[in-house]
Structure 1
Amino acid sequence: MPDPRRPITVALVDDYDVVLLGVAKIIDQYRDRVVVAEIDTNKPVRDDVDIVLYDSFAQPESDHHEIGALVRNPNARRVVVFTWNFHPDLIAKAREQGVRGYLSKALPARELVAALEKVHAGEFVVSEVAGRVRPANGLDWPGRGEGLTDRESEILALITQGLSNADVAAQTYLSPNTVKSYIRSVYRKIGAASRTQAVLWGVDHGFVPDHHRIDHWRGGP
């Protein structure tokens, strides 16, 4: 049973440290209730934590290998997905794998923390999402400073990794035409005239996954 006398310990997982540091920042306002114990990029969770919060930025969401590995990790008591993509098939697959929460990036910090507490108490929690909404204040992503939206940045990150438009559409559950529209918007904002130029810009501006761990955010638990 959860111990109400101590904060919930959380490990944050994603391939991009700038994204995870943004998530850590918004959670850190509630250190008396939730403590970020570990921040992982391309590394397995090694601390014993109550919840793993898996941020889906630029992740191949149609390939659930990473989520499955987290669910099987004995150091993670529960796994929660933090995402903008609420396609029913994704939610069903995640739940089938053992994920205990599917939370929206639009949640204010207080609601995110409350949702994590419900998961910790044994509930299965899925955010209510009405249309496309802005992400929670404090979140960050590559390209934000250059005017790219979170969705545009995710699309650019995927093509920087070498995915075709068809692959991006399949993995994000967007239509090919929608993907093309996002890519045109990205080109315009970064001044790229071709896919090659866009990929080179992405490599130079933090759109290549990181490969390290940030241990014990601000001292951890």
Structure 2
Amino acid sequence: MQSTRPLTVALVDDYDVVLVGLAHMFDSYSDRVVVAEIDATTGLSDTVDIVMYDSFAQPESDHDEISALVGNPRAGKVVMYTWNFHPDLVAGAQQQGVHGYLSKTLPARELVASLERIHAGETVVSDPPRRTSPASGLDWPGRSEGIADRESEILALITQGKSNAEVARLTYLSPNTVKSYIRSIYRKIGATSRTQAVLWGVAHGFSPDNHRIDHWRGGP
């Protein structure tokens, strides 16, 4: 369903490269979606129709950020945008009051259509994605160095100082799977230790700008 005016959509994430990649997905749909991109230096004074919370490398079992967005008076509807479709995460987000839980594998046309359905009053939850390529136009730290999307999330968590056990808990992966991802990351970046991996991460854009979430939590 198409609105009489373009939807206003705010994108919330702690990583600029993630925001830019997501914003570019809407380039061909400017008659239907207008992006208000939130960053550390630009506040948003107007109410928006939909806030898309990209959960890249966020502690997804901690619902504080989702609660802040749902409770923000400027956010009409709140949508999770993620690769992680663990049933507990989906159920928890819905209990928090999100209006959509959308997969990063959706092509832009389906993503726009889903946002329009949500704006019209539906609750939209994507089918759990198989491990397929992410939607065209998405970006993440380390992609140009050959780091895959899930590896990027794990490296971001490592750069933030998370232990393997914490990474496993936050990503709903087994400890052995996390170790396998970390070995692959080390090979790709030429690291032989965790310290080297953290230093590489900091130098390649894996340090989040938490001011963005704090801005939304604090309101106008």
CA RMSD of aligned residues (A): 1.9
1:4 matched to 2:7: no
Q: Where do 5+ consecutive residues of structure 2 fail to align?
A: 213-220
Give CA deviations for 1:15-72 in whole Å, capped at 9, x if unaligned.
Answer: 0010010000001210100110232469986431000000011111010100110000
Q: Which amino acid aligns with 2:183?
A: R
> What residue number does 2:218 align with?
none
The structure-2 alpha-carbon separation of the partners of 1:155 and 1:80, relative to structure 1 and needing over 3 Å to count, comes to: same
**CA offsets per residue over residues 106-142 of structure 1, 9 Å max, x none?**
0000000000000000000011134212110010000
List runs of 5+ in structure 1 lacking aligned partners: 214-221
d(CA) in 2 for partners of 1:42 and 1:176? 38
Give the direction of change, closer, same or farther, for the CA distance of 1:198–1:173 in structure 2 (3 Å limit).
same
The residue number in structure 2 matching 1:189 is 188
The amino acid of 2:88's aligned partner reads D
Say if 2:83 and 2:129, in contact at 8 Å, map to a contact too: no
- Quote the Cα distance in structure 2 between the aligned partners of 1:205 and 1:12: 22
SS of the residue corresponding to residue 70 of structure 1 reads: helix
- After TM superposition, the score normalised by the length of structure 1 is 0.91
- Which has the larger displacement, 33-42 or 184-193? 33-42
1:112 has 2:111 as partner: yes
204-213 vs 126-135, which deviates more? 204-213
- Aligned-pair CA distance for 1:163: 0.2
Match of 1:217 in 2: none
Contact 1:43 1:211 in 2 (8 A): no
Residue pair 2:79, 2:99 contacting (<8 A) in 1 also: yes
The count of corresponding residues between Structure 1 and Structure 2 is 212
Q: How does 1:28-177 map to 2 (within 5 A)?
A: 28-40=27-39, 46-177=45-176
Runs of 4+ off more than 6 Å: none
Output the amino acid matched with 1:154: E
Greater Cα shift, 159-168 or 38-47: 38-47
Change (3 A) 1:3 1:130: closer
Distance 2:104 2:33 in 1: 17
**What is the aligned partner in structure 1 of residue 216 from structure 2?**
none
